[in-house]
Amino acid sequence: MTDTSAPTPSRIEPPFDLDIKAFWDGTREQQLLIPTCRSCGKAFWYPRPTCPHCLSADIDWRASTGAGEVAAVSVMHRPANPFMADKVPYAVVLVDLDAPTGPDGSRVRLMSNATGIDATQVTVGMRVSLTWEPLTDGRNLWLFEPAT
């Protein structure tokens, strides 16, 4: 008999949202797509169906390499949820991506976890690169590791 049960998640997984299907489809291919407004030219984060700057719904999805710099870090010694209990301590990071940038040179800032390094060794200004963690439905979650 074949086991048809769903895989056990390793964390609380973000919900799938049809309004940003292009973004989630990109994660299935381990591609980080950043929403960028065609009307005003500004890249933004978090993914949503309208631009937070000008409210246009004319959104383009631009690929990012995921290279960036840690802007802030918080080390969690207690799990934020039961699924993360085996991961403590872990680092929650804000990362300023190198690209895409807005017409004014502004950078997109993402929140994620740092991986591949002791959480207490993550520092502001550290160069990081994108890596992925599989989710149970075939999507992937973006994480950051020290750049090599």
Q: What global pTM score does this model have?
A: 0.85
Quick: pLDDT tens for 28-70: 999 999 999 999 999 999 899 999 999 999 999 999 999 999 9
Residue spans of the domains in the chain: they are 18-146
Q: How far apart are CA 50 and CA 8, in angstroms?
A: 33
pLDDT higher than threshold 60 for residue 6: no
Residue type, 36: T
Query: What's the pLDDT at 100?
Result: 73
Query: What's the pLDDT at 83?
Result: 80
Which residue, among 122, 117, 124, has the nearest Cα to 70 in the 3D structure?
Answer: 124
Mean pLDDT over each residue of the chain, to the nearest integer: 89
Environment class of residue 18 by beta-carbon count within 10 Å: exposed (0-12), middle (13-18) or buried (19+)? Answer: exposed
The helix (run of H) or strand (run of E) holding residue 124 is none
Q: How far apart are CA 122 and CA 139, in angstroms?
A: 26
